[in-house]
Chain A
C-alpha cells in the first residue's frame, strides 16, 4: 500500500467514524468521580490493616463518598479525618458482628482478629462454620461442614485484598456506581461505659429516591482515641420515624491479642488440602483432557449430586474471548434420557446468577494478571447446565455435547460433537477444581442450591411459560431463603427480584390481591437491600399499575 493509499484509508475511516463529543453531563459526572477519588486517595494512604478491615471499608468509605457528594458539616469531616488518622496507626484489632432479630435477640455473624499482619476470621452460624487464619504468607481455611482445612499461599483472608472485596476504593466505587448519595450528621458527646464518646450518623440512599432515607449507620467513637467502638446498621420503613438496629459490630483496638489466636490449630481429623498441590493436580488433569477434535479440547465433564453438569474446554480462544465472542458461538447439551437442561449464563437473569468464568483478567494492585488456567496461552472456558426437573437420584448416562463454532480469523463455521459417558456424580456441590478458577462458583451447598432453584424458576416462567410450576418454584426458593434469613437473624431479605417475578406470575393468573401482597414484599426487600435501580423502578411502576402507593 502506498503512502497516498494509506492516507486515503486513514481519512476515509476517520470520516466514517467521526469523534462524538461527550455531553456536559458526562463531564460533570467524571469530574465528580475524580474529586471523590482524590479524597479517597488522600484519606487512605496504603496501610495493610486498613486495606481489608470491614469497618474501614464500610464506615470510612461511605464517609468519604458522602463528604464529597454532599458537602457535610465541617465538624463531621473533622470527626471522620480524626477517625481515619487513628485507624492508620492501630497495632491490633478485634471485632464481633451480630445480627439482631426482630425480637431483639442476637445471632453472631463474624469475629475478626488482626495483629501485626496476622489475621483470624471466624464465621459461625447454623449452616456454616469457617475459620481463616493468615500468618507469614500462608492462609489456612477450616470448614467444619466439610471437615477440611485448605492451606494456601495468601497474606489476607479471602475477600480482604481483592478489588471486588472490601478495599476502600472498591467500596467507594461500588457506592458511586450504584448511584447512592449519602449525608452525615455528627451527634453531640455522651458518656458510655464511663468514657466520653461521640456518634456519627451517616445515611445512604439511591440518589433518585425522594423519600426519606431508610438505611443508616451509627458509629460510636471514643473521644480519647478517636477509634470506633461500635458500628450499628439501622433501617426503617418509609414514612416511619423509628430506626431499628439490624446489625451491630463491637470493635476494640490496640489491645494485645494472644499469639495463640493466630495458630492454625484445627481438629486433627480434618482433611488437609494443600491448595498449591491441588492447583497443580488440576492443571495436569485438565491439560490431559478427556476428548478432543481439531477445534475443541474437552478438558473436563462432571455432574454434581443434583445432576448439574459442569464442562471445561478450550477452543483456541485468547483471554477475554468467551461465548459468544470467541470461536465457540454456543454449546448444546443433551443426554440419553432426554433430560431438559438450562444454561444460567444464557438466561436473561444470567447477569444476576453466580458467574462462572474459568479464566479471566484480574485487576489487581499494580496492573492486571490472568486468573485461572491457560493451556498453550489459550484460555480455559466453562459452561454449566441445571436440569429443569429436579433430579432425585442421579444415574450413569451418556452425554452429547455439540459445539457450534465460527473461526474468528477465517469466519468458517463448524460443529464439534462429543459423546461422553459419566458413571458417577464426582462433586457434591461444585467440582473440586472450582477454587482455582478465575471467577469461581461458591462451594457452599446453600449458595449452589439457591442458585439452582432460581435458575429453574426462571426457566419455568420465561422459557417454558408454565405459570403454576413457576409459581411453585419461586415459592420454594423464597421459603428456603426465609429459613436461611431466620437462622442468620436477618430482618430483611434480598429477594426483591424474585418477589417481583411472583407478582408478575400472579397478575398473569388473574390473582390480583395475592399479587399486591407479593409486590409489598418485593418493596420491603428492595427498601432493605436494593438489588438494582432497574428493579426498584419496576416495583414502583407495578405498584402504580395496581393502584398502590409506591
Chain B
C-alpha cells in the first residue's frame, strides 16, 4: 500500500457502518426574512459562490464568467423574489443550472463530459514529505469523488464543503429533505467503501 493509500485510510478513520443511522434533518435557521439588495447580495456571497463554481469548473476564466452569469440571473430575479433569510442555497441552485449549461456546451464542443476541478493549488507547507503525503491524499480524495454518481457528489460537496444544511441541500438539488438524508447516508457508506477499495487496489498491485 502506498503512503497515499495509508493516508487515505487514516484520514477516513472509518469502520464498517452498522445499523442504519438516521440523522435528523436540521431545522431551518430562525433568522428573520430579509429583502436583499443586489449590492448586499454580491458583497456577502460573491466569494462563496465563486468558490463553489470553481470547485466544479476547472478553468478560472470560465468559472468567473459563470459566477457573473449567476449574479446577473439573481439580480434579475431579485425584485420578484420573496424575502429570503438565507439566499445562499438559492444562489447555489442558480449556479448549479449554469454549471450544467456550461458542461453541456463543453461536451457538445469537445465531446467530453463534466468533471470536477482538479487543479487546486495545494496549501503551503514547510516539509517536502508532508507536502507529498498531503498532496497524494488530496488527489485520492478528489479521484474518489469523481467516481461517485453526480447527485451523491453534489450532496457531499454542498453539505460538507459548502456548509449547507440537509434542508438547504434538498432545496438546491430539488429533492425532499428526507431523500437528501438518505442520499447522504448512502454517500458516506460509498466513501467508506471507496476508501477501502483504493487501499485494496493498491496493495493488490504491490503483490
Contact = CB atoms under 8 A, between A and B. Distances in A.
B partners with A? yes
A31 B17 contact: no
Given A26-B46, A27-B46, A1 B67 contact: no
Contacts of B63: 20
Nearest to B47: A22
A106 interface: no
Nearest to A411: B149
B68 A26 contact: yes
B69 to A, nearest CB: 7
Given A1-B21, A30-B68, A163-B76, A351 B107 contact: no
A19 B68 contact: no
A9 B191 contact: yes
Given A4-B13, A15-B123, A38-B38, A322 B79 contact: no
B39 interface: yes
Chain A contact patch, size range: 35 or more
Given A9-B12, A13-B141, A20-B120, A169 B76 contact: yes
B115 interface: no
Central interface residue in B37, B63, B75, B191, by most chain A CB within 10 Å: B75
Contact of B64 (A17, A18, A26): A26
Interface in B135-159: 137-138, 141-142, 145, 149-151, 156-157
A210 interface: no
B80 A366 contact: yes
B108 A29 contact: no
Contact of B103 (A17, A26, A325, A350): A325
Contacts of B51: 19-22
B188 A16 contact: no
Nearest to A12: B11
B42 interface: yes
B80 A365 contact: yes
B128 interface: no
A363 interface: yes
Given A9-B160, A26-B50, A325-B150, A176 B107 contact: no
Contact of A325 (B21, B104, B174, B188): B104
Contacts of A5: 12-14
A38 B69 CA distance: 16
Given A14-B160, A18-B123, A363 B108 contact: no
Contacts of B206: none
B183 to A, nearest CB: 10
B67 A26 contact: yes
A541 interface: no
A285 to B, nearest CB: 27
A320 B13 contact: no
Contacts of B76: 37, 163, 169-170, 173
A325 B64 contact: no
Given A16-B138, A17-B161, A20-B51, A30 B67 contact: yes
Interface of A is mostly: helix
Interface in B12-57: 12-14, 17, 21, 37-39, 41-42, 46-48, 50-51, 54-55
A73 interface: no
Nearest to A350: B108
Contacts of A75: none
Contact of A408 (B97, B109, B113, B151): B151
B161 A33 contact: no
B68 A33 contact: yes
A276 interface: no
Contact of B156 (A13, A19, A365): A13
B54 A20 contact: yes
Chain B contact patch, size range: 35 or more
B89 to A, nearest CB: 13
A318 interface: yes
Contacts of B100: 320, 325
Contacts of A324: 107, 113
A538 B86 CA distance: 44
A347 to B, nearest CB: 8
Given A8-B13, A9-B12, A351 B108 contact: yes
B11 A25 contact: no
Contacts of B196: none
A25 B67 CA distance: 12
Nearest to B56: A17
A147 B91 CA distance: 46
A41 interface: yes
A25 B104 contact: no
B78 A37 contact: yes
A16 B38 CA distance: 31
A23 interface: yes
A452 to B, nearest CB: 19
A466 B114 CA distance: 32
A177 interface: yes
B47 A19 contact: yes
A34 B77 contact: no
Given A4-B13, A13-B161, A15-B123, A30 B191 contact: no
B131 interface: no
A30 B12 contact: no
Contact of A320 (B54, B67, B97): B97
Nearest to A347: B108
Contacts of A365: 80
A33 B149 contact: no
A1 B149 contact: no
A348 interface: yes
A14 B142 CA distance: 11
A425 B203 CA distance: 61
Nearest to B39: A34
A5 B14 CA distance: 6
B198 interface: no
Given A5-B13, A325-B104, A30 B160 contact: no
Interface in A493-524: none
A409 interface: yes
A208 B40 CA distance: 30
19 contacts: A1-B188, A5-B12, A8-B12, A9-B12, A18-B120, A19-B51, A26-B64, A26-B68, A33-B68, A34-B37, A37-B78, A173-B76, A319-B174, A320-B97, A325-B104, A325-B114, A348-B109, A408-B151, A411-B149
Those 4 A-B pairs whose CB atoms lie nearest each other, nearest first: A19-B51, A34-B38, A37-B75, A22-B50
Given A19-B51, A324-B113, 16 more contacts: A1-B14, A10-B160, A10-B161, A12-B12, A13-B156, A15-B138, A15-B141, A17-B117, A18-B123, A20-B120, A30-B71, A34-B41, A173-B73, A325-B150, A345-B108, A411-B149
